[in-house]
Amino acid sequence: MTKIHVPVRDAYDVIIERNILKRCGEIISEVSKAETCAIITDDNVDKLYSETVSESLKSNGFKVVKYVFPHGEASKNAGTLTKIWSFLVQNDITRSDCLIALGGGVVGDITGFAGATFLRGIQYIQIPTSLLAQVDSSVGGKTAVDLPEGKNLVGAFKQPALVLCDPETLRTLPEKFLIDGMGEVVKYGMIADEKLFDLLLNCNLENVHEYFDTIIPICVAIKKNVVAEDELDTGLRMILNFGHTIGHAIEAYYHYETYTHGCAVSAGMCIMTKYCNTPEEYAKLKKCVENYHLPTDTDAPIMELVNLCGHDKKRAGQKLRWITCNPIGKAQIQTGTIPEFRAIFEREV
């Protein structure tokens, strides 16, 4: 068991432990005074883990209700959010009850937003079951839904009361989602930890499972340090967006259908590194992401992606911010106008 304390205003722990799902109710009872836990999950995760979680909650004295929505990014919208809100009223959930986000990033983001807004805020707990959610989205309190115009355009900052990561869930994770999460794992190496990057450079999609007990805590600790410095995303937290400015544009360009988030970030990181680092470093990153079957580029014309970056929510006034990691393991926040950002991709490489 590894416990990582996240020292923000409403501080909380991230606990990483194999088979923690089976005893989640015991741990949750230490941080929650809820009478009722409302599990929010998707139809895929529901079949795999709801019963285990629900049994553990019930045997620790909680009443349990459950809301299941169809899996996938397409559900992360205002319509699903509204249905969750109504479900919570209809089940008499009060300000002192607790939401349990059981699933991947979509479940975590929308449940967190429901927690931030239902009755103007009730407690929620993250039980991330995907790699992406375990190393990234479950920690830090960013909650959101998508709009038809773009991803994560509305949301709130609301820290979870607890995060429980069970690396065992990654063994049964479909390969597509494992690959997706590895995109973010490589990102942590790029922005903050050359040793992690080197470890990843020497592993592959088959043997990486053996290293998750090391990898997940390293990633969570990096994220924790960044979040603790910059809870409300006004500065340092930007470094977590390495690969995301272009990555979000890739997702939007393909209407969120072709690329998973991690794959889009992988291509985004490679494109940034191609234009901003030495050819040797670019080659290393390419090799690293290829180990995990992640893309190194896309068919979308780069200038069309750059144009899509204008709608990115990180743009402040006419300025845009983006991240470079040069050398590998050290992130820099860059600020410039849209023409300055565009100029990066106009040079021959």
Residues that bind a second copy in the complex, under the rule CB under 8 A: 35, 78, 81-82, 85-86, 89-90, 92, 94-96, 113, 116-121, 142, 144, 147-150, 153-157, 232-233, 310-311, 313-318
Give which of 122, 60, 68, 126 is closest to 97, Cα–Cα. Answer: 122
Nearer Cβ to a second copy (147/283)? 147
Q: Using CA atoms, how far apart are residues 136 and 201, in angstroms rounded to an integer? A: 20
Nearer Cβ to a second copy (82/207)? 82
**Ramachandran quadrant class, 302 (left: phi over 0; alpha: psi -120 to 50; beta: rest):** alpha
Residue 157 in tokens: 């900052």
CB of 208 to a second copy, least distance (A): 32
Residue 241: what residue type? Answer: N
Give which of 14, 75, 66 is closest to 37, Cα–Cα. Answer: 66
Nearer Cβ to a second copy (193/233)? 233
CB of 32 to a second copy, least distance (A): 12
Nearer Cβ to a second copy (35/198)? 35
Rg (Cα) of the chain, in Å, rounded? 20
Nearer Cβ to a second copy (15/308)? 308
CB of 91 to a second copy, least distance (A): 11
Q: Which runs of E-coded beta strand occur in 261-312? A: none
CB of 66 to a second copy, least distance (A): 19
Nearer Cβ to a second copy (133/145)? 145
Cross-strand partners of 321: 335
C-alpha distances (whole Å) from 155 to each of 30, 83, 111, 141, 142 are: 28, 16, 11, 10, 7
CB of 5 to a second copy, least distance (A): 23
Residue 32 in tokens: 């929650």
Contacts of 31 (CB under 8 A, 6+ apart): 12, 125, 161, 162
CB of 201 to a second copy, least distance (A): 34
CB of 316 to a second copy, least distance (A): 5
- Is the distance from CB of 32 to CB of 12 less than 8 angstroms? no
- Is the distance from CB of 153 to CB of 187 less than 8 angstroms? no
CB of 113 to a second copy, least distance (A): 8
Nearer Cβ to a second copy (86/278)? 86
Nearer Cβ to a second copy (11/283)? 11
C-alpha distances (whole Å) from 121 to each of 29, 118, 233 are: 19, 5, 20
CA dihedral 205, 265, 250, 300 (to 10 degrees): -60
CB of 307 to a second copy, least distance (A): 13
Q: Which residues of 283-293 are buried (b: 16+ CB within 10 A; e: fewer)?
A: ebbbebbebbe
Q: Using CA atoms, how far apart are residues 335 and 346, in angstroms rounded to an integer? A: 17
Nearer Cβ to a second copy (147/343)? 147
